[in-house]
Amino acid sequence: MAGMHPEWPVVGHQPVVAFLRQSVQKKKTAHAYLFVGASQIGKATVAKHFAAALLCAQGSDGGWCDDCLSCHQRALGVHPDYHVIVPARATADSTARPIISLEQIKELQQRLSRRPVLAARTVAIINGAGLLNEKAANALLKTVEEPNPGTVIMLTCDAADQVPLTLQSRCQRLSLSAVPTAEIIGALRKEGVSHSEAERIAALAGGRPGLAFAYVQDTQLRKACEEELETFDELTRQAWGERFRLAAAWFQHANADHTRSVAESLRSRLEVWMTAGRDRLLEAAGCGHICQRTRGEIAEVATIDLAAVRQWSLFLDKVIATMVALQQNVNPRLAYELLLLDMPRQRRAGKEMPA
């Protein structure tokens, strides 16, 4: 069939994509899905393609055709049976925390209460479901508990515990994990990026294809990430006193940034730390060869430093906990300083010691 998509254009996530395609083919879909995975890993992309397959009038193999009226209207963003919600700021203040409000959910509920006009189903995607406020989450719960037949609701979030358990338990949960570096390199090469560039960008992206593409388009963003990695290296070499001095300077800088909140700035710093910290963990575990290579001098010798493995794994746990806490209005400075206390200290290449 003309234009039929034999493959979904998704980088990585083959098991999840295969599962969803099969469920479209067998017409065995759940009423609600929860896609969980790091930011820019591909959750919204997978959800978008799943929606395309569900809405297409003649997609027979778990794909879509790009030819039918349903596909056309979806591509134009005017499909009457397809609704996408993203978090928004309640005020014009650019540092206000974006949320999904009760009003947004009520409007969606009204749309979901109508019969589908064009497609066999009504499909809704709620991106950033971790930012549903309490009232919105409660309202959404009712919709998910008593869904209209033929309605498919997809939620995406960075970590499952950002979404109330009652809501989680009503959704089919699908976890998206880091995409192998080789696949990201392959995807970047297809876009015309040189091999050495692709290798470097894939390393920085830490398994997140969306971030890799963002680095290709935005060299400033990429430079900022490289600077973050240098800061990370620097911090691991310093003792507490100096770390806190650097933290104070960083907060002054973050406070002066009126394009985003301090919590948001800190979250993007911690995302870089996740990748860099995971590299340190792998290196300590004698697996330097599978590092993302966020820095030059990775220890190639396969020696295992159990103390360092323990320290880095505890540290990564705390980075994740801090990122979750930042979405729940904790004091960013306090959270950051606590994290600095738990950051393993590096005396010289390959040797960690307590800070």
Q: Which residues are near Zn ion by CB under 5 A?
A: 56, 64-65, 68, 71
Between residues 68 and 198, which has the closer beta carbon with respect to Zn ion? 68
Between residues 2 and 92, which has the closer beta carbon with respect to Zn ion? 2
Please work out, in degrees rounded to the nearest 5, the angle formed at the alpha carbon of residue 190 by the alpha carbons of 184 and 193: 80
Between residues 56 and 124, which has the closer beta carbon with respect to Zn ion? 56
Between residues 47 and 56, which has the closer beta carbon with respect to Zn ion? 56
Q: Of 152, 78, 148, 160, give the one whose Cα is nearest residue 114.
A: 148
Tell the smallest beta-carbon distance from residue 63 to Zn ion (Å): 9
Token output for 134: 């309490």
Tell the smallest beta-carbon distance from residue 78 to Zn ion (Å): 15
CB contact at 8 A, 187 and 209:
yes
The conformation of residue 339, written as its DSSP 8-state character, comes to H
Cβ-proximal residues to 249 (8 Å cutoff; 6+ apart), any chain: none
Rounded CA-CA distance 65/238 in Å is 57
Between residues 71 and 282, which has the closer beta carbon with respect to Zn ion? 71
Cβ-proximal residues to 51 (8 Å cutoff; 6+ apart), any chain: 74, 82, 123, 125, 152, 154
119, amino acid identity: A
Tell the smallest beta-carbon distance from residue 25 to Zn ion (Å): 15
Between residues 33 and 64, which has the closer beta carbon with respect to Zn ion? 64
Q: CB 189: neighbour CB atoms within 10 A?
A: 15
Q: If phi over 0 gives left and psi between -120 and 50 gives alpha, with beta otherwise, what is residue 55?
A: alpha
Rounded CA-CA distance 136/133 in Å is 5
Tell the smallest beta-carbon distance from residue 69 to Zn ion (Å): 8
Tell the smallest beta-carbon distance from residue 106 to Zn ion (Å): 30
Q: Which residue is associated with the tokens 């005020």?
A: 91
Between residues 71 and 235, which has the closer beta carbon with respect to Zn ion? 71
Between residues 71 and 225, which has the closer beta carbon with respect to Zn ion? 71
Angle between helices 262-284 and 240-256 (to 10 degrees): 140
Tell the smallest beta-carbon distance from residue 117 to Zn ion (Å): 15
CB contact at 8 A, 82 and 74:
yes
Rounded CA-CA distance 314/288 in Å is 19
Between residues 17 and 126, which has the closer beta carbon with respect to Zn ion? 17
Q: Is 269 helix (H, G, I), strand (E, B) or coil?
A: helix
Please work out, in degrees rounded to the nearest 5, the angle formed at the alpha carbon of residue 204 by the alpha carbons of 198 and 206: 105
